[in-house]
Amino acid sequence: MNIIGLIAGIGRLPVEFARAARGMGFDVIAIAVAPGVESELAQAVTRFHTVGLGELEKLIGLLQQEGVQQITMLGKVTKEHLFSGTARPDAHMQQLLANIEDLNDDTVMLALVREFANAGIGVLDQTQFIRQLMPSPGVLTNRQPTPGEQADMEYGLAMARQLGGLDIGQTVVVKNKAVMAVEAIEGTDACIKRGGELGCGGIVVAKAAKPQQDARFDVPSVGPDTLKTMIGAGAVALVIEAGKTLLVDKKQVVELANMNSITIVAM
């Protein structure tokens, strides 16, 4: 059956995936699990549903009702919802969370993957239909990095990989080979803002995949919102991992960077 389920969070990635999969002849059944999902998504998919964050039983039931046997999970759903009270876990989700050793990203996501498998639903590689969004190595913008920015990029990428190895986050902000901020539960944008404040501008943002990255979830991505946050924080450079990072709306990202003299390198 040419049916794929899409568990959708915030951002452009779910829309990009839906369009690519539909273009390849697949029916896409989207289920939004976070408020603020792109309005275009409902028009880009075959059928569209919404489920409250934490309603695992309802989510699995909908997928089974739609005949979905394979899904992908794309879009931002920050873990802070678990602590803020905005998510209301049902009994199924509460049991899942109670039976895992910690609430680190990989631990939670692997537990969800197992639950889907128990229901006869496989989880696809997130990049399977959108690998074209991953840039090859090189400078993507008009401006080349300065020697100092290049050094900060290499240092920042090394730090981001170590951070990912601890399953804490994917983004590090550096300046003059000093770490200004690291990403944790607050997410990429908040990390960049904090790094810009502490570094008083002139910062370099580095984003890397985890050394143990599972391609079924949390593949690193950047897009226009990332660039807008960087501009507000006074950033001068962005480094991502070539072939491992999804670059969403590349044309707009590069235009924003060029307009603000920010250099972007896929390393």
Distances (CA, A) of 119 to 67, 107, 173, 192, 212: 12, 19, 40, 39, 26
pLDDT given at position 1: 60
The full length of the chain comes to 267
Residue 223 CA to residue 89 CA, distance in Å, equals 30
For Cα atoms 141, 147, 150, give the angle at the middle one, nearest 5 degrees: 60
Buried b (16+ CB within 10 A) or exposed e, 175-197: beeebbbbbeeebbbbbbbbbbe
Cβ count within 10 A of residue 156: 29
Mean pLDDT of the chain: 95
* Mean pLDDT on 252-263: 98
Look at residue 121 and tell me whether its pLDDT is greater than 70: yes
Angstrom CA distances, 267 to 24, 201, 228, stand at 30, 23, 21
Tokens of residue 224, six digits: 């226009």
Q: Render 167-191 in DSSP notation, one character per residue.
A: TS-SEEEEETTEEEEE-STT-HHHH
The amino acid that residue 133 corresponds to is L
Q: What percent of the chain has pLDDT over 90?
A: 90
Domains and CATH numbers, the chain: 3-123 (3.40.50.20), 134-266 (3.40.140.80)
Beta bridge partners, 4, equal 28
C-alpha triplet 93, 77, 10: angle, nearest 5°: 135
Write the pLDDT tens digit of every residue in 4-47: 999 999 999 999 999 999 999 999 999 999 888 999 999 999 99
Share of the chain above pLDDT 70, in %: 98
pLDDT at 83 over 80: no
